[in-house]
Amino acid sequence: MKRRSILVGAALLALAGCATTSPAPSSATACAPTAQFAFVCGANKPEDLAHIPATPWVIASGFATGSGLKLIDSRTRRASLWFTASADQVMPDPGYPDCATPPDPALFTARGLSLRMTEAGQGRLLVVNHGGREAIELFAIDARGLAAPTLRWQGCLAMPPGHVANAVASYADGTVIATVLTRPGASITDFVLGRITGGVYERGPQDSAFRLLPGTQLPGNNGLETARDDSGFYVIAFGLRDVVAYARHDTRQPLWRAQAPEFMPDNIHWDGDRLLLAGMVRDEPACGGLRKIVNGVADGLLCHRGYAVAQLDPETRRFSLVAYGPPDPVFNGVSAAVIVDDDLWLGSYQADRIGVRPLPHMLP
């Protein structure tokens, strides 16, 4: 499929002039398609998504108590609870000794995801968990058969006391990195005002705890992804709308920064050969424009904003628009995107569903 690379900013500025809202639907049509989207229902707050390569299967996190992990067959668009802690899903690895037991399905609150395939049909899934403990949960994934993929919990890596992870990524040697959006004492309002609040933390295979990587403290450390060659990583500074690149072995100064035009990127992931970012429109007319500070507190972005998905070229540091749209009456808080065949799947940290729309065909 050919696409014409265009600047995200110009398209989103044009979009802002035509943004509209519609009345909320009745309960009888709560998961019915809208003008923009078909939906995968039953995925409560699917903050992050991962597509298992060369399969029809999509994984969704659940950023609500007990929402855990969902597995979706893209052919039927049906979601099912994936991790139930059954005996065949638990296989502790002594290399991850922080947690003696798997996450409690009744508490499992999954946020950021990172899927790294280790060989054909097999991989390792890292999941940020807030349910019952603040930790990175590790799962072995097997998608080699014709039936649904299986997963086995192997252990967890505990976050430092008082630190809440947001996103996670890894290197091929097993080193794990994670972002903290707001370290103890910092707030969302702080990073909206451009103040430093978070950081990137690293834990190698032989380490007993995470450590803060010097120089990675940013206003709202959010989405995270490693470079294709493991030479470094990309982290989103949510308060600035910046993608900030670092070298793996010397993080004291960033390699470069690139600001996303006119939208607020949340998660960032490789999707095949594309480095995709997704988020809400920055200056949304339907919401009175920019995010506001009211009585000293940043608004919760509950007003439905438009969204954008863009591809970033790390070599040129240029953004190319993949898709955008105006506010949707039942789908807000876009935070992640994956491409499955000719469809774009959107995750949300607010909604009770996953949005699916055709991938736009850009002119050559």
Binning the chain into helix, strand and coil, the percentages to the nearest 5 are 5, 40, 50
- Neighbouring CB atoms inside 10 A of 173's CB total 8
| SS3 state of residue 15 | helix
Burial of 320 from C-beta contacts in 10 A (0-12 / 13-18 / 19+): middle
Domains of the chain (ranges, CATH numbers): 8-21+35-358 (2.120.10.30)
The CA-based dihedral angle spanning residues 229, 231, 234, 235, taken in that order and rounded to the nearest 10 degrees: 140
Q: Radius of gyration (Cα) for the chain, nearest Å?
A: 19
- For 21, 160, 192, the CA distances from 9, given in Å and listed in that order, are 21, 38, 20
One digit per residue, pLDDT tens: the chain, 364 residues?
Answer: 333 333 444 455 444 444 333 444 444 457 999 999 999 999 999 999 999 999 999 999 999 999 999 999 999 999 999 999 999 999 999 999 899 999 999 999 999 999 999 999 999 999 999 999 999 999 999 999 889 999 999 999 999 999 999 999 999 999 999 999 999 999 999 999 999 999 999 999 999 999 999 999 999 999 999 999 999 999 999 999 999 999 999 999 999 999 999 999 999 999 999 999 999 999 999 999 999 999 999 999 999 999 999 999 999 999 999 999 999 999 999 999 999 999 999 999 999 999 999 998 753 3
Question: Cβ(52)–Cβ(59) under 8 Å?
Answer: yes
Cite the DSSP H helix spans in the chain. Answer: 8-16, 188-192
* Number of Cβ within a 10 Å radius of residue 187: 14
